[in-house]
Structure 1
Amino acid sequence: MAGPGDKNTADGAAVNAMRIMLNLINIDGTIVIGEGEIDEAPMLYIGEKVGTGSGDAVDIAVDPIEGTRMTAMGQANALAVMAVGDKGCFLNAPDMYMEKLIVGPGAKGAIDLNLPLAENLHNVASALNKPLSELTVTVLAKPRHDAVIAELQQLGVRVFAIPDGDVAASILTCMPDSEVDVLYGIGGAPEGVVSAAVIRALDGDMQGRLLARHHVKGDSEENRRIGENELARCKEMGIEAGIVLRLDEMARSDNVVFSATGITKGDLLDGITRKGNMATTETLLIRGKSRTIRRIQSIHYLDRKDRISSCTSCKPFSLRSRAAG
């Protein structure tokens, strides 16, 4: 599905494949962060039950394709991502926008979204013991960030402007061999909660702020209608938009398992390659409790996957056995 130009077809295929495999696992799973409303694509919807219903009760934050447009256009850094944690572990919020500020372990405690961005960057640079000119900040290259990018350039920091894919950039802030120090910008809340899970697992730091659509995309009649619906859903869920959320409010425990599989080749992972009946993937698997990071290369026989997708009597398997260690 990479490269045909139809992001909704790609997203639909990813949602279907992920749902099929989740329903084969011996868990009592609930989707607490899904995807699709902002992109107008099919969803693993908030509140959906997955798994066999037996086994551990877990909450799941998921984005079957982080970077639908990148997948459709064959661009770099598209991922399939999922975080699994104990019941009540993840922030349960509507699919809306979120302002995010993320740093690695070296700058933990140095960020505050209530402060101006420039002050935050000075604090991060101080924590990392480097001048601003050596600080690297990743920002989504969206019109809403034009003023932010101009401010960063004026401050003299190094700016990486990426078209999409802030989950991959979030992870890179915490990887020891990465040159990314900070991620800042406004993206999707589902991606924000998934990012919070992996940042918590890797001992980084993050703050977020839920924003209604008309506060991000412009105050048109349609955007205001959608934004007011988002705010109403926040109220129903007991969440207040516009206030700063700390990392431990978005991911309440480090007892999480995070998985990211590359769809298109990127800075973090290789993409899917296919040769005949075989496909090769690379996955980053992170277990927060032990802070274990694994890179897994897998070969998939596609005819076997087709059998699983149509199987009504396939034997379930245990998540515990896959996530141990």
Structure 2
Amino acid sequence: MERSLTMELVRVTEAAALASARWMGRGQKDEADGAATSAMRAVFDTVPMQGTVVIGEGEMDEAPMLYIGEKLGQGGGPEVDIAVDPLEGTNIVAKGTWNAMTVLAVADRGNLLHAPDMYMDKIAVGPEAAGKIDIDAPIIDNLRAVARAKGKDISDLVACVMDRERHAKIIHEIREAGARIKLISDGDVAGAINTAFEHTGVDILFGIGGAPEGVIAAVALKCMGGDFQGRLVPGNEEELARCKKMGLADPRQVLLLEDLVKGDDCIFAATGVTDGELIKGVRFSGTKATTQSLVMRAKSGTVRFIEGQHRLERKPEFVMKD
């Protein structure tokens, strides 16, 4: 992939964030998601690449744009797989709470797992604890391994877990081990990425969330030198059949980082919609707006935090119309 593609992709996530942020706190998650999707799709058409959506808003008959298999880009440039979540945290935006982002991940053609829309059991850590985790090991063993790797006591660790009834056992075991917990309502892409940045205060992520989001998070952690393991959790026979169609002889097999994103190069980009530990949300002031974005590339190991200042009168398509 070309180095210049990283900055082009930030333009895509910025557009989606600007379009969806006006819906913050209005209780209309579908409208916020639709605004992000439309803006993201429009800017993708200006990017010099030959992209194919492998993780998107659904199958062709389920989504009008950014559907799986859709071709993106203005042609020319690298041939790439694209995973998108135009608005990671639709409920977060509707309620006006933390860690909503617009996110995408890109890798060379054929290098992203085409994860079906089902649940995935996940464990994620940053670079200090890479290679030390095991999704099949007890919670206490993983906590001990991360504590050793980071030179901390278990009582100093913070585990990120989505606040769901299905995680009651995990939460109990983390507390029994003496570690602390940050419960999140939605948005486990942010939870996974936060493990790679010391200032977020998060050391490890546990729990079950969306499989497509797992692939996107894995790309981000690969860029950072972190680690991610997952296991698909099919909920019915149809989902089980989809796993087998993907070529997984055992749908319950452990998926390592290299299974989720192959090769030595990939790009992750995100722009904050609401404030989070990692990046701030969109700030509006009259005809201007400010965004904060994160873009990373695995091949170079470069991590950039980008602040954008936008003149909204020159971007009328991103201004919400009631």
TM-score by length of 1: 0.85
**Aligned match for 2:241, one of 232, 244, 261:** 232
CA distance in 1, matches of 2:64, 2:164: 24
Q: Output the CA distance in 1 between the equivalents of 2:258 and 2:160.
A: 23
Q: 1:154 and 1:41 mapped to 2: Cα distance?
A: 44
Residues 1:138 and 1:307: Cα distance change in structure 2 (over 3 Å): closer
User: Matched residues in 1 for 2:94 and 2:69: separation?
Assistant: 28
Unaligned runs of 5+ in 1: 215-226, 310-325
Distance 1:308 1:108, change over 3 A: closer
Establish whether residue 210 from structure 1 lines up as the match of residue 232 from structure 2.
yes
1: CA distance, partners of 2:203 / 2:81: 29
- Deviation string for 1:230-289 (max 9, x for gaps)? 222222222342211001111113411211100001111111111222221110111221
The answer for the alignment partner of 1:16 in structure 2 is 38
Given that 1:12 and 1:42 are in contact with CA atoms closer than 8 Å, whether structure 2 keeps it comes out as no
AA of the residue aligned to 2:101: L
The one of 261, 280, 287 equivalent to 1:277 is 287
State the Cα distance separating 1:177 from its structure 2 match.
3.0
Q: Which residue of 2 aligns with 1:196?
A: 218
* Contact 2:41–2:65 (CA under 8 A) maintained in structure 1: no
Q: Does 1:55 align with 2:77?
A: yes
Match of residue 71 from structure 1: 93
Q: Do 2:39 and 2:318's aligned partners in 1 also have CA atoms closer than 8 Å?
A: no
- Report the 3-state secondary structure (helix = DSSP H, G, I; strand = E; otherwise coil) of the residue aligned with 2:315: helix
Number of the residue aligned with 1:101: 123
The one-letter code sitting in structure 1 at the alignment partner of 2:313 is D
161 and 249 in structure 1: CA distance in 2 versus 1, 3 angstrom threshold: same
Distance 2:51 2:214 in 1: 20
TM-aligned CA deviation for residue 35 of structure 1: 3.7
1:153 aligned to which of 175, 199, 213: 175
Q: 2:142 aligns with which of 106, 117, 120?
A: 120
Equivalent in the alignment of 2:4? none
Measure, in 1, the Cα distance between the counterparts of 2:63 and 2:163.
22
Q: CA deviation at 1:36?
A: 5.5
Change (3 A) 1:267 1:110: same
Which residue of structure 2 aligns with residue 262 of structure 1?
A: 272
The count of corresponding residues between Structure 1 and Structure 2 is 294
2:310 pairs with one of 271, 295, 300: 300
What secondary structure, in the 3-state scheme, does the structure 1 residue paired with 2:93 have? helix
Moved more, 286-295 or 228-237: 228-237
Amino acid at match of 1:296: I
The answer to which of 3-12 and 124-133 deviates more is: 124-133
The structural deviation recorded for 1:7 is 1.0
Q: Distance in 2 between matches of 1:136 and 1:35?
A: 32
**How far 1:41 sits from its partner (Å)?**
7.7
In structure 2, give the amino acid aligned to 1:291: G
The 3 A distance-change label for structure 1 pair 171 and 19 is same
Query: Relative to structure 2, which stretch is displaced further, 61-70 or 271-280?
Result: 271-280
Q: Find the residue that maps to 1:185 and give its secondary structure.
A: strand
1:89 to 111, 133, 145: 111
Cα distance change of structure 1 residues 24 and 151 upon mapping to structure 2, 3 Å threshold: same
What residue in structure 2 maps to residue 184 of structure 1? 206
Deviating more after overlay: 283-292 vs 169-178: 169-178
- Secondary structure of 1:124's match? helix
Q: Does the residue aligned with 1:90 lie in a helix, a strand or coil?
A: coil
Shift of 1:3: 1.2
Local SS of the residue matching 1:199:
helix
Counterpart-to-counterpart distance in 2, 1:43 and 1:162: 29
Deviation at 1:307, TM superposition (A): 5.8
Q: Which residue of 2 aligns with 1:248?
A: 258
1:84 positional shift: 1.2
Q: Match of 2:69, SS? A: coil
Q: Does the Cα contact within 8 Å between 2:119 and 2:233 map onto a contact in 1?
A: yes
Q: Is the 1:8–1:42 contact (alpha carbons within 8 Å) kept by the matching residues of 2?
A: no
Letter in 2 for 1:137: A
Q: Distance in 2 between matches of 1:44 and 1:185?
A: 27
The sequence identity of aligned pairs, in percent, is: 49
Distance in structure 2 (CA, Å) of the matches to 1:178 and 1:307: 33
Contact 1:102–1:170 under 8 Å retained in 2? yes
